[in-house]
Structure 1
Amino acid sequence: MDGIDLSAVAWRKSSYSGGNGGDCIEVALASPAPGVVPVRDSKDPSGPVLLFPSASWQSFLASLRDGSLPVG
């Protein structure tokens, strides 16, 4: 992650995540670096973190909200 410190990042679990420990992702509440959105697997909090460009993440969320990206 080339110089991005994620040790103090607060994470938010997806609202679609149930309490059953299923497939869940967590998104950083505030990015530790400009222009990126850190995302990780909630079942493996010390595992790898994906860094998405902020514009791409916002586009992904907009596609989910408007139904142009099939879910499920």
Structure 2
Amino acid sequence: MNTKRDIDTADATWLRAGTADGSVEVAMLADGYVALRDSKNPGGPVLIFTPSEWTAFTAGVHDGEFDRP
């Protein structure tokens, strides 16, 4: 079984989401994992979500959980 640390994103296909000033890139990985990174720093840190974590995260986005006050 893979752990998040075992996942290699070197060959991932990254899709940009957002505006030019505040963009993130998302990659759908094997076994349903999802990677997220800052488009301005593609060589920087990458967040890896399990399928259930990604579902919870996107639900929070849609519900406004991360909106600024």
Length-normalised TM-score, structure 2: 0.71
- Identity level (%): 37
User: Measured at CA, do residues 8 and 70 of structure 1 come closer, stay the same or move farther in structure 2, by a change above 3 Å?
Assistant: closer
User: Measured at CA, do residues 3 and 63 of structure 1 come closer, stay the same or move farther in structure 2, by a change above 3 Å?
Assistant: closer
| Matched pairs, number | 65
What is aligned with 1:27?
26
Unaligned segments of structure 1, at least 5 residues? none
What is aligned with 1:57?
54
User: Does 1:40 find its partner at 2:37?
Assistant: yes
Cα distance in 2 between the residues matched to 1:62 and 1:55 = 11
Q: Which amino acid aligns with 1:9?
A: A
Unaligned segments of structure 2, at least 5 residues? none
CA deviation after TM superposition for structure 1 residue 41, in Å: 0.6
Length-normalised TM-score, structure 1: 0.69
Q: Which amino acid aligns with 1:6?
A: T
Moved over 4 A (4+): none
In angstroms, what is the RMSD of aligned CA positions? 2.0
Q: Which amino acid aligns with 2:19?
A: G
